[in-house]
Each structure stands twice: as structure tokens, then as C-alpha cells.
Structure 1
Amino acid sequence: MDYKLIDNTEGKQYEYHIDGVIAKIEYIRAKDKIYLTHTEVPKELEGQGVASALVKDVLNDIEKKELTLIPMCPFVASYIKRHPDWKKLVLKGINIA
């Protein structure tokens, strides 16, 4: 499914607006680094692949902006572990377990 990724810089989160609810990944941005801290998908959207699609779009945006990723959110870290090509964005020395 294609959703429109919104970088809500004021709210410090990436968002999908779907059927009146918001799926989001919260972040902290510090110069050329971005810390993804929390992923949240409303109950009515669970089990539809929304969180994985959101992580993928966010990682594409991070790559486009040439930022270094520090994945603090367990869901983001597990996504990167399942899709190791994205490790190229992760700050060197951080182990994705």
C-alpha cells in the first residue's frame, strides 16, 4: 500500500494519516543525526503492514537527507535486522541485535 509520508518537524515525528488516525515514528534530530525513538500504529491499523511501510519510507527519507541513524525504537531496530541493507544508515559502532 502507498501512504503519504509526512515529516512533521514541529511535532518531531514522521506520520501517515490513514482513515482519520495517525501512525507515527517519533524522532530526535541533532545536526546530521536522527534518533528514531518510538513507533506507534493505532489499533485499527494493526496487522496491515502499516508500521513496516512507515519504517521503510522513513529510512528512505533519512537516506535522501544523508542523515546518520541511531535506532532507539525496538521495532525500527528489528526492521533493520530483517532488512540488513539499511544498516548502511546506522551510526558506526551501533550493534543491531
Structure 2
Amino acid sequence: MSNNLQQTPFSILNNKENMRFEIHVEDEVAYLEYRMYKKDIAFMHTFVPEKLGGRGLASSLAIYAFAYAKEHNLPVMVYCPYVAGFIKKYPEYKVQLDPQYYH
């Protein structure tokens, strides 16, 4: 994966075995789960431990996830409520949504 995905202040890894992007901080793990569906990547669920809240981890995970999808030419499906709200706040990411599922 190229360095241009690292657009956040956190080190994010793609845990392919568990199908999630992860940030490890203070013995805790924040993550955004994904699944591959046909030609798409589906963002399923975002979790940030309560003690790590307010640091921008969830938005960093979303930014990274969209960058990963773009780099790998994967249209995005959104099931995660956090990511759905993120798209409303940052509509420039809407272009990456799979038009078959979003109109």
C-alpha cells in the first residue's frame, strides 16, 4: 500500500484476517470493519473505545478507508451509521459510493 493512504495523524493498519482497519492506542483498538461484496467494499461498523473518544480516531479511520477504496478502485457501500454521518459532513466522498446502491 502506498504512503498516500497515510493522510491521518494515526498509524492505521489493515487487519485483513479480521477485515478491519485498526488504530492501536494505549493498549486499546479502534477499528472500522469492512466486508468485500462482489466488486465493492462495504463499511460495516466503526468502534472507538470510550476512553479514546474525542481524538478523531473514527474520522481518521473513515478517511483511511475511503483512501483504501479509491486506491484499489473499489466502489463503497455504507452500512455503518458513523460513516453515513461522515459522508453527510464531507459530501466529497459521495463520488466513491456505488451508484447501484445509492442514488
TM-score scaled by length of structure 2? 0.85
1:38 aligns with 2:36: no
1:8 aligns with 2:15: yes
Distance 1:35 1:52 in 2: 16
Distance 2:60 2:17 in 1: 22
Per the TM alignment, residue 16 of structure 1 is displaced from its structure 2 partner at its CA by 0.7
1:22 aligns with 2:29: yes
Aligned length in residues: 95
Question: Aligned runs of 1:1-97 on 2, under 5 Å?
Answer: 2-92=9-99, 93-95=101-103
**AA matched with 1:94:** Y
TM-score scaled by length of structure 1? 0.90
Q: Deviations over 1:1-33 (max 9, x none)?
A: 611121111101111111211100111112420
Distance 2:26 2:61 in 1: 15
RMSD (Å) for aligned C-alpha atoms: 1.3
**AA matched with 1:73:** C
**AA matched with 1:53:** S
- Gaps in structure 1 of 5+ consecutive residues: none
Taking every aligned residue pair, what percent have the same amino acid on both sides?
A: 29
Distance 2:97 2:39 in 1: 12
Q: Deviations over 1:19-60 (max 9, x none)?
A: 211100111112420111100000111111111111111111
Distance 1:65 1:4 in 2: 19
Q: Which portions of structure 1, spanning 4 or more consecutive aligned residues, are displaced by more than 2 angstroms?
A: none
